[in-house]
Structure 1
Amino acid sequence: MIVGIVFLVFPLCLVLAALTDIFEMTIPNRIPAVLLGAFLLVAPFSGLGWSGFGMHMAAAALVFSGGFALFALNVMGGGDAKLLTAAAVWFGLTKSLLVFLIYVGYAGGVLTLLILLLRARANLVIAMGLPVPHSILSAKKIPYGIAIAIGGLASYAQSPLVTQALESLH
């Protein structure tokens, strides 16, 4: 059951967050809440000691601080900051957290360039009948939940919880 939670909750929450961000330009609070709650449920059974658990909470606090600062500067949305924080808790203060954040940064850069290109050519996109959600073309912000999902899914196999779950299967 615990292994199932590890392998299903994180990816499903990230995909759901990306989809809602694409179509609604918002990330519902329940998605980061489920991510955090699932981690808190799994952590005691995953072999994390108190110090390991503390390192995962420290990762969340560190990422939350950065996300809050970006939110205060109007660079990142509040939902994005919460999703990034809830995802970071699954990585802990490990090399995998850095990999995750780097992937998110790269994905965010590519996503931003693509959306800006689409918006610059919005009339052409509409005229061609391309299936691009209206929110992507008309909003003034970038749905960064997509980049967080891409970075999370790309780096998830390196997270301590996944490696621990894989070891328990052998």
Structure 2
Amino acid sequence: MIEAAILIVFPFAMAFAGVSDLLSMTIQNRVSLILVVSFAVLAPLTGMPWDLYGMHFVAGAAVLAATFALFATGTMGGGDAKLMSATAVWLGWNLGLAEYLLTMSILGGLLTIAILRYRSSHFAVAYTERFEFMRRLARKDVGVPYGIALGLAGLLTFPASPLCLWVINRLAHI
């Protein structure tokens, strides 16, 4: 049961956040809240040592502090900041967090370039009539739905996370 919850909650939240940001340019607060609460409940059930458990929350707090500064300057959206922090809680204070941040930065840069190219292309005019989210993406006064990069980076780095490795280890010994 614990294994199933770990393998469902995080990946679903990452996918939901990415799609939600693409379609509505918002990441709902409940996504980040579900991630933090589910980690808080599930991690102790895996036998995670309390000091390591605490360091996962330190990682989330550190990322929240950095992303809050970016939010305050208008560089990042609030939903993005909260999602990054909640993701950091799941990944912990380790190289997996650095891998997530690097992956997210690369994917975010590629996403930004793709959207800027889309905005200056003839596709932006041709497809904006059919889909509201495409109209929003074509607007030059709207930001980039960075939740797509956050969600995809989370999905790519999740297999090396402590909880996912715990599940893999448990399933390997069945």
TM-score interval w.r.t. the shorter chain? over 0.9
Matches within 5 A, 1:126-145: 126-127=125-126, 133-138=134-139, 140-145=142-147
Shift of 1:125: 3.0
The answer to whether 1:166 aligns with 2:168 is yes
**Residue 128 to residue 16, structure 1, CA distance change in 2 (3 Å):** closer
Q: Which residue of 2 aligns with 1:117?
A: 117
Q: Which residue of 1 aligns with 2:153?
A: 151
- Distance in 2, Cα, partners of 1:109 & 1:81: 17
Shift of 1:128: 6.0
- Distance in 2, Cα, partners of 1:19 & 1:134: 16
Q: Which residue of 2 aligns with 1:33?
A: 33
Q: Are the aligned partners of 2:127 and 2:134 in contact in 1 as well (CA < 8 Å)?
A: no
Letter in structure 1 aligned against 2:136: S
- Distance in 2, Cα, partners of 1:71 & 1:125: 28
Structure 2 unmatched ranges of 5 or more: none
- SS of equivalent to 2:28: coil
Structure 1 unmatched ranges of 5 or more: none
Shift of 1:147: 0.5
- Distance in 1, Cα, partners of 2:57 & 2:83: 14
Letter in structure 2 aligned against 1:94: N
Matches within 5 A, 1:1-170: 1-121=1-121, 123-127=122-126, 133-138=134-139, 140-169=142-171, 170=173
Shift of 1:67: 0.7
- Distance in 1, Cα, partners of 2:22 & 2:10: 18
Shift of 1:150: 1.1
**Percent of aligned pairs with the same residue?**
38
- Distance in 2, Cα, partners of 1:30 & 1:128: 31
Letter in structure 2 aligned against 1:152: G
- Distance in 1, Cα, partners of 2:37 & 2:136: 30
